[in-house]
Amino acid sequence: MNTPDPSLIASMPLFADFDREALAEFLGLGQSRLVVRSQHVFSQDQEAEAFYLLLDGYVRIELVRPNGEVVIVRFASTGELMGIAPALGRDTYPANSVAVVDCVVLGWPCSVWADTVRRYPSFATAASQTIGTRLQEAHDRIAEMATAQVEQRIASALLRLANQSGRKTSDGILIDFPISRQDLSEMTGTTLHTVSRTLSAWERRNIVRSGRKRIEILSGHQLLLIAEGRT
């Protein structure tokens, strides 16, 4: 498991203007790695040796504050770039990246970044837009944290998860990876107690159905109303 099948990733916008040889060459520079559940892909403040493409699975990107409290920045899913410290002009990782299911990642030494960006405009553009989108989302979340009540924030977080990693079921949308009340509280800046109470209340209203590390959205519509503050 050293060089993955090019066809898996040839279709990504990131590699739009790589020809077959270029892609093969580029993939040859990387190394794939299996990361089992709850292990780190990389860790905050660790020297950034490589940047990664998530080939399969889900990882949690989390920030650890000086006092030890953990905040979840986002969940990344298959196909996303992670740990692109070189693009940010950093030489350490700004966050932890933790596998929430067994994952496969493809990693390249940071030293190849500059050259790749220079040679392949599609790569540079796609990477830039990825960062741009994340910045946008981060600003939206700041605004949300600043103005919205806890219940609204939990609803927004669930909707975001559903959009990004939802799997359609017969009754609604299931978040496609194990996620605990604690996780949700770390995404929204509240406590697992409040998340639990909120989900229980929603369960009574048939808005969600949830279990141990499992959440299914039955009424995205209701959830949207809650998120927008007109309950």
Partner DNA sequence: TGGAAACTTTGAGCGCGATCAAACAGCAGA
Partner DNA sequence: TCTGCTGTTTGATCGCGCTCAAAGTTTCCA
Please state the closest distance from residue 224 (CB atom) to a second copy, in A. Answer: 11
Give me the residue label for tokens 């000086």.
66
**Cα–Cα distance measured from residue 20 to residue 3, given in angstroms and rounded to the nearest whole number:** 14
State yes or no: residue 65 binds DNA (CB under 7 A). no
Beta bridge partners of 99: 59
**Which partner from the list a second copy, DNA, none does 121 bind, CB cut-off 5 to 8 Å by kind?**
a second copy
Q: Which of 80, 88, 141, 151 is nearest to 117 (CA)?
A: 88
Q: Which is nearer to DNA, 60 or 160 (CB)?
A: 60
Q: Which residues bind a second copy (CB under 8 A)?
A: 63, 65-67, 69, 71, 73, 87-90, 94-95, 117-118, 121, 124-125, 128-129, 131-136, 138-147, 186, 188-189, 228-229
Binding mask 127-156 for DNA (x = CB under 7 A): ----------------------xxx-----
Q: Which is nearer to a second copy, 32 or 122 (CB)?
A: 122
Binding mask 158-197 for DNA (x = CB under 7 A): ----------------------xxx------xxxxxx-xx
Using CB under 7 A as the criterion, which residues of the chain lie in contact with DNA when the complex forms?
Answer: 149-151, 180-182, 189-194, 196-197, 199-200, 203, 210-213
